[in-house]
Structure 1
Amino acid sequence: MRFVRYGERGAEKPGVLDKAGQVRDLSSVVTDLAGDVLADLPEVDPESLPLAEGDLRLGAPVGQVGKYLCIGLNYSDHAEEAGMDIPKEPILFMKATSAIVGPDDPVILPRGSEKGDWEVELAVVIGKAAKYVSKEDALSHVAGYTIANDVSERSLQIERGGQWTKGKSCDSFGPLGPWLVTLDEVGDVQDLALTLDVNGARVQTGNTASMVFGVAEIISYLSQMMTLHPGDVIATGTPPGVGMGFKPPRYLQAGDVMELSIEGLGKQRQRVMRDG
């Protein structure tokens, strides 16, 4: 099934897509797509639910995110373009949950930003708590998958000292969605095509088959050091074609439009704006 959260920011309602791609209101079944609901997502006939009314803006398809975990340099060809070695273990950094916005909300570059960048990524949403899980059991803890744009400010990330987190966590730097797609609809999660266009020109093309560490291995690895809770999000890395990999580098400007897609998971579209 393909679940959504729709409505005004901060007041999103749960929904599900019907066969025609229309949003059906799921409020009579669950109050939100968050927390323990994700461990047992409702199985309903979307056609039996009323069509959604009002503001059909799509928000992030999961609410009350506790942790936003990100895996760096997880595509061998992206590590190469970044001039870095392929990691021997997953590289982990965090993204502030306050960065999360809907899939089509604007991305706002912070004051002084000079090196805003894009990153299309497969995102995993945890459904059941995971602690010390095996690789073989890891996917049973997944509620579903969605698209993430791991927007980055490279000068904050790389040139200003400290960890990557501060270059990843600016307000609006975490578009998620449009849908939360359950495992049965995704198929082989290690064979999904990813793309990202800027102003209509393709800049990123990849496939999850090129991951250094697959989804199951990432979940198992992280669960050895922390409990993964329902609603936690894991962004699993990006293929080559990010702005800092261009020669010369190419960075986001106000007015740019990013369009992202992952096979079976839908599309995102964000217009870039500048704060102040």
Structure 2
Amino acid sequence: MKRGRIAWEGAIHEVTQAVDGCVLLADGRMLAETEPTWLPPVAPRTVFALGLNYADHAKELAFKAPETPLVFLKGPNTFIGHRAHTRRPADATYMHYECELAVVIGKEGRRIAKEDAYEYVAGYTVANDYAIRDYLENYYRPNLRVKNRDGCTPIGPWLVERDDIADPMRLALTTRVNGSVTQRGTTADMIFDIPTLISWLSSCMTLSPGDIILTGTPEGLADVKAGDVVETEIEGIGCLMNSIVDDETFFGNAKHTG
């Protein structure tokens, strides 16, 4: 099942995917996808993001592939929903998308064995973790301005339950900018797979329901500008749409004040 969250008529609603591009509310009402304000399909708790988890992406950036996971944390202020706006700062010279499989943890666990890892997964969603290369300090320690800017990470629209995805390590990833394909990849090319990441993270801390692991992006990055519409899609999970806006538009929106 595909489940999402929206804001509609002053309330937050749980919705499911319906036919013909519509969403179904719990009370039976149907809305067109374009009508509500989309929220992240889960309220993010602790969010772990992987750097250079695809060898082709590391090569694309002229970095050596890591021997252990490169992980950094993201704050809840970074996450926005489907069809929302992300700011490109006026001083940015290179800002790119990152289509990523997001793994949502479903139950508490520590020191989880690889063979048991999927038992702790609630489901999967799509993330687009924008980065501004101008702000990068170094490849292994993205600073706050790179990965913790307000609204820099659209996520959604759907949370797909774990058992509805036969093999999350064999999913196609695609990014389109203004309708043109700019990135293609597969989760099969991850350096550290999902069981490895869950086991590695839980070896030093407790994982809890609502924690999210952003598993990295393959090669195929391109600069995006204000006015661009970016679609990041993962096979079997969904298509996440997002628009890039300039400072004036972003700060003129009452929902975004930082």
> How high is the TM-score relative to the length of structure 2?
0.88
Q: CA deviation at 1:21?
A: 6.0
Structure 2 distance, partners of 1:203, 1:19, is: 28
Alignment correspondent of 1:6: 6
Deviations 1:26-75 (A, max 9, x none): 4xxxxxxxxxxxxxxxxxxxxxx512469533211002x22121011111
Alignment correspondent of 2:17: 17
Q: Which runs of 5+ in 1 are unaligned?
A: 27-48, 244-250
Query: Identity rate of aligned residues, in percent?
Result: 38
Q: CA deviation at 1:93?
A: 1.1
Q: 1:56-67, aligned counterparts within 5 Å?
A: 56-63=36-43, 65-67=44-46
Alignment correspondent of 1:114: 93
Q: CA deviation at 1:111?
A: 4.6
Q: Which residue, 48, 65, 74 being the options, matches 2:53?
A: 74
Which SS does the other structure have where 1:219 is aligned?
A: helix
Q: Which of the two has greater strand per residue? A: 2
Contact 2:72 2:141 in 1 (8 A): no
Q: CA deviation at 1:20?
A: 6.3
Q: Which residue, 136, 149, 152 being the options, matches 1:173?
A: 152
Q: 1:28-47, aligned counterparts within 5 Å?
A: none
Q: CA deviation at 1:214?
A: 0.6
**Cα separation, partners in 2 of 1:53 and 1:256, compared to 1, 3 Å:** closer
Q: CA deviation at 1:98?
A: 0.2
Which SS does the other structure have where 1:194 is aligned?
A: strand
Alignment correspondent of 1:32: none
Q: 1:1-276, aligned counterparts within 5 Å?
A: 1-8=1-8, 11-18=11-18, 22-26=22-26, 50-52=28-30, 55-63=35-43, 65-158=44-137, 163-243=142-222, 251-276=223-248
Deviations 1:167-205 (A, max 9, x none): 011111110001000012111001000000112221110
Alignment correspondent of 2:254: none
Deviations 1:110-133 (A, max 9, x none): 353332211000001111012111
Residue identity opposite 1:23 in structure 2? V
Structure 2 distance, partners of 1:115, 1:171, is: 18
Which SS does the other structure have where 2:217 is aligned?
A: coil
Q: CA deviation at 1:11?
A: 4.7
Q: CA deviation at 1:259?
A: 1.1
> How high is the TM-score relative to the length of structure 1?
0.82
Alignment correspondent of 2:256: none
Q: Which runs of 5+ in 2 are unaligned?
A: 249-258
Structure 2 distance, partners of 1:208, 1:266, is: 15
